[in-house]
C-alpha cells in the first residue's frame, strides 16, 4: 500500500465523509494526499489537509457531477466505483477508482486524463465533420464506429449501423467482389479505389468508393459517394457504344484529333476512303 500511495503517477487521497443532520452526505474532509495528487489537481497538501472539499475546492457542490454524493454513497454502502469524470472546479478530466474499507472513510486513486480526453474529443470532432464516410470495423466485417456522413448520405443513424455486418448493406451483385476485397484486408494489405453499391435506408443504392487499411484487429476505412460520377461514366460508355454502332452500320469514315498532343486517329473506313490501310496512316499528327 505504501508503494501505491507514493506512486508518482497515481494520485491518492484519503477522506472522511461528513453527514448533515438528516444523515445524508454533505461534505468530506481531506486526511491524506500524495505528491501526485498535488501535481494532478494543482492543490497543495498544506492547503487541503484538515479542510473539507467545500473549503478546498470552492464550487464543488455546484458541479454538474455530484462528487460529494458519489463518495458518500461509496462510504455508506462500502462499495467500489471506477469512473471517468470532468471536474468543473479544477478544469480537468480524471479517471477515478474509489472505495471504502472503513465506515465513514473512503480512499481515492486517480489519473489526470485531460490530455487524452482533449485529443479524443478533437479526433471525434474531425471524425464527425468529415464529409467522407468514415468507419472503423472489425476483421469480421462488423461496424464498430461510423461518422455522421453515413446518416447524411445513406440515411442510417450510428445506432442502426452499430454492430451490423457490412454485407447487410451491400448490393447482392457486389457481395462476392466485396468478400474478395475483405479477404485482402484480413491478409494485412490495403484495399484502394474499390467500389461497390450500398443500400440506403429508403431502399435505393449508392455507388461507394473505398480506401481501407487494416491495423491490428481493426479496419480503418474512408469512402466517398461516387454515384453521380459512375452514372456519368455509364452514360458516356453507352453513348460511345451507340455512336460506334451507328458508325459501323453506316460505314462512315471518322477521325479524332487530340488537341494537346496533335495526334490524329482514323478509323478503318477513313483509311479505306483515302486508299490506305489503317496501319499505314496511324498514328499521325495534324501536320502530317
Cβ neighbors of 178 (< 8 A, separation 6 or more) are 166, 167, 170, 196
- Which helix (DSSP H) or strand (DSSP E) does residue 11 occupy? strand 11-19
Cβ neighbors of 177 (< 8 A, separation 6 or more) are 194, 196
Q: What is the pLDDT of residue 129?
A: 59
**Residues 225, 209: Cα–Cα separation, whole Å:** 7
**Residues 118, 105: Cα–Cα separation, whole Å:** 33
- Which helix (DSSP H) or strand (DSSP E) does residue 225 occupy? strand 218-225
Upstream peptide bond of 283 is cis (omega within 30 degrees of 0): yes
Taking residue 144's Cβ as centre, other Cβ atoms within 10 Å add up to 13
Q: 130-228: which CATH topology?
A: Beta-Lactamase (3.30.450)
Q: What is the pLDDT of residue 287?
A: 54
Q: What is the pLDDT of residue 130?
A: 65
CATH superfamily for domain 2-113 = PAS domain (3.30.450.20)
Q: What is the pLDDT of residue 9?
A: 80
Q: Tell which residue, 281, 220, 218, has the closest CA to residue 254.
A: 281
- b/e per residue 6-32 (b: at least 16 CB within 10 A): eeeebbbbbbebbeeeeeebbbbbbee
What are the Cα distances from residue 128, in Å, to 145, 209, 210, 221? 11, 19, 18, 14
3-state class of 7 per DSSP? coil
**Residues 254, 278: Cα–Cα separation, whole Å:** 12
Q: Where in the chain is the domain with CATH 3.30.450.20?
A: 2-113, 130-228
Which neighbouring-strand residues pair with 197? 207
Q: What is the DSSP letter of 174?
A: G
Q: What is the pLDDT of residue 264?
A: 65
- What is the full per-residue pLDDT of the chain (288 aa) written as tens digits? 566 666 678 999 999 999 999 999 999 999 999 999 999 999 999 999 999 999 999 999 998 899 999 999 999 998 899 999 999 999 999 999 999 999 999 999 999 988 887 776 766 666 665 668 888 899 888 998 888 888 888 999 888 888 789 899 999 999 999 999 999 999 999 999 999 999 999 999 999 999 999 988 899 998 899 988 887 877 877 777 766 666 566 666 665 656 666 666 666 666 667 666 666 656 555 455
Amino acid at each position: 500500500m505504501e508503494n501505491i500511495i507514493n506512486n508518482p503517477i497515481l494520485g491518492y487521497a484519503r477522506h472522511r465523509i461528513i453527514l448533515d443532520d438528516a444523515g445524508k452526505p454533505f461534505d468530506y474532509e481531506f486526511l491524506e494526499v500524495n505528491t501526485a495528487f498535488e501535481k494532478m489537481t494543482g492543490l497543495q497538501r498544506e492547503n487541503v489537509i484538515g479542510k473539507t472539499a467545500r473549503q478546498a475546492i470552492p464550487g464543488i457542490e455546484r458541479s454538474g457531477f455530484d462528487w460529494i454524493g458519489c463518495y458518500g454513497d461509496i462510504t455508506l454502502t462500502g462499495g467500489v466505483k471506477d469512473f471517468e469524470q470532468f471536474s468543473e472546479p479544477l478544469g480537468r478530466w480524471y479517471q477515478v477508482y474509489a472505495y471504502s474499507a472503513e465506515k465513514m472513510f473512503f480512499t481515492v486513486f486517480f489519473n489526470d486524463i485531460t490530455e487524452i480526453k482533449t485529443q479524443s474529443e478533437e479526433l471525434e470532432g474531425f471524425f464527425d465533420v468529415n464529409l467522407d464516410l468514415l468507419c472503423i470495423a472489425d476483421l469480421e466485417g462488423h461496424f464498430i464506429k461510423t461518422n455522421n456522413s453515413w446518416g447524411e448520405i445513406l440515411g442510417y443513424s450510428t445506432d442502426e449501423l452499430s454492430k451490423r455486418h457490412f454485407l447487410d448493406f451491400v448490393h447482392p451483385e457486389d457481395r462476392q467482389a466485396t468478400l474478395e476485397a475483405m479477404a485482402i484486408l484480413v491478409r494485412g494489405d490495403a484495399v484502394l479505389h474499390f467500389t461497390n453499391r450500398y443500400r440506403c435506408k429508403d431502399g435505393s443504392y449508392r455507388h461507394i468508393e473505398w480506401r481501407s487499411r487494416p491495423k491490428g484487429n481493426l479496419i480503418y476505412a474512408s469512402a466517398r459517394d461516387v454515384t453521380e460520377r459512375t452514372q456519368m461514366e455509364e452514360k458516356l460508355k453507352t453513348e460511345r457504344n451507340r455512336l460506334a454502332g451507328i458508325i459501323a452500320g453506316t460505314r462512315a469514315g471518322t477521325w479524332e484529333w487530340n488537341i494537346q498532343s496533335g495526334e490524329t486517329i482514323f478509323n478503318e473506313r477513313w483509311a479505306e476512303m483515302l486508299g490506305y490501310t489503317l496501319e499505314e496512316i496511324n498514328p499521325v499528327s495534324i501536320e502530317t
